[in-house]
Amino acid sequence: MIHDPLLIVDESIVLDSSTGLYLPKSSIRRRWSLYKTFTLGTQVSLALIGIIALVIYHGQLTKMTEQLTEMKGSSEQTSQLLCLYKEQLDQLQMQTVNNSKIAFGTITQATAVVRAEAAQIKIDRQNTLSLSIGHEIVLPFVIENIGKTAAIHPRIVSFSGIYEKYKEPDFLYPRPPKNFSETGFSYPGDKPVVFQSTVWRANEKAILDQPTADRLLKKEIYLVTWGKITYNDVFGVSHWAKFCSWQTLSGDVDTQDHPKCAAYNQTDSSIVPTTPKITESGSNTAQAPCPGPKPD
C-alpha cells in the first residue's frame, strides 16, 4: 500500500511522514501549488514540443508533395517534347527518302540518255578461218563501234590456246600479255578493224601440224580465245567487255561443250548505276498525335 508522505492530523498542521515534522497547512499548500504548477508546465512544454514537431513534419510533407507535383509536371513536359521531336524527325526522314528517290530517278534517267549516246565496242570472230600446215595458228577477230559516239583509246588483251574437249581456260591473263593491241579512236560507222590473236603453246607460238589439224576436224580439240577490251567514251565513263569464243576447222561447236567460256562473255555495267535500297524506318500506319498539356 502506497502512503502519501503528507498526513493530515488536524486542520491547522500537517505531519510530513518523510521528515517526521509537523508543518503548517499553508506551507503544505504552497508546496502543493508549486508541484501542480511544475507538473502543468512540464505537460504544456511537452505539448508545445509535439505541436512544433507536427508543424515541422507538416511543412516537410507539404514541400515533398510540391516537389513530386513539379517532377510529375516536368516528366509530362519532357514526354511531350520527346514526342514532338520524334514527329519532326519522322517528317525529316520522310522528306529525305522522297528526295533520295527523286535524285536517283533523275540519275537513272540521265544515265539512260548517256547510255543511248555512248560508244559501244563489239568484238566478233571472223566466220572464215584460213590455216596452213607448218604455219602459225592465228585467229582473226573483228572490232567495231556500234554506239553513237567515239570510243577513246580501245585496248585489247587476249590469249588463244588449244584445249581438249570439255576443258576450259582458267581466264588468268599471262604477264606479259601474249596478244595486245590498241588504237586511238574508234568512231561509229568506221570500217571494222581486224585484230589477230595468235595461238600459243606454253611460251611458244603454236605451229599447225597434221595431227593437230586432224584432231581439230574431229572436234577432239578446240581453238579457244578469250580476252578483254577497255575504252572510254566521250562522257568520260570507262567501259570494258570480256569475250570468249571457240572454234574448230569444221565449224561451230555446241555451247554446252564450253559453258564457262559462254558465261565469260560480258559487258560492263558501270554506266548503269545501281540504285541503293532506301530503308524507310518507322511504321506506315498513322500515329496518334502527341498529347497536349493537362489543364490545372
Cα separation, 85 vs 97, in Å, equals: 18
Residue 135 domain flag: yes
- 51: which 3 cell numbers? 505541436
Residue 112 domain flag: no
* Secondary structure E strands in the chain: 6-8, 13-16, 21-24, 121-125, 138-145, 151-164, 179-182, 185-186, 193-198, 200-201, 204-205, 221-233, 238-247, 266-267
**In sequence order, what are the residues at sequence separation of 6 or more whose Cβ sits closer than 8 angstroms to the Cβ of residue 165?**
219, 220, 221, 222, 257
**pLDDT tens-digit series, residues 197-228:** 999 988 889 999 999 999 988 888 989 999 99
Residue 82 domain flag: no
**pLDDT tens-digit series, residues 223-281:** 999 999 999 998 888 999 999 988 887 666 666 678 888 899 998 865 455 555 555 55
Residue 177 domain flag: yes
Residue 145 domain flag: yes
Supply the mean pLDDT for the chain. Answer: 75
Give the pLDDT band of residue 126 (cuts 50, 70, 90).
confident
Residue 158 domain flag: yes
Q: At 14, which amino acid appears?
A: V
Question: How many structural domains are present in the chain?
Answer: 1
Residue 48 domain flag: no
Evaluated on CA atoms 260, 262, 268, 273, the torsion sign reads negative
Residue 231 domain flag: yes
Within 10 Å of residue 205's Cβ, how many Cβ atoms?
A: 13
Judge whether residue 19 has pLDDT over 60.
no
* Helices H / strands E in the chain, number of each: 3, 14
Q: Whole-model pTM? A: 0.54
Q: Quick one: which of 92, 41, 150 has its CA closest to 281? A: 92
Judge whether residue 293 has pLDDT over 70.
no
Task: Work out the angle at residue 223's Cα, subtended by the Cα atoms of residues 222 and 226, and round it to the nearest 5 degrees.
Answer: 125
Q: Which domain holds residue 204?
A: 119-267
* CATH number of residue 234's parent domain: 2.60.40
Cα separation, 49 vs 268, in Å, equals: 96
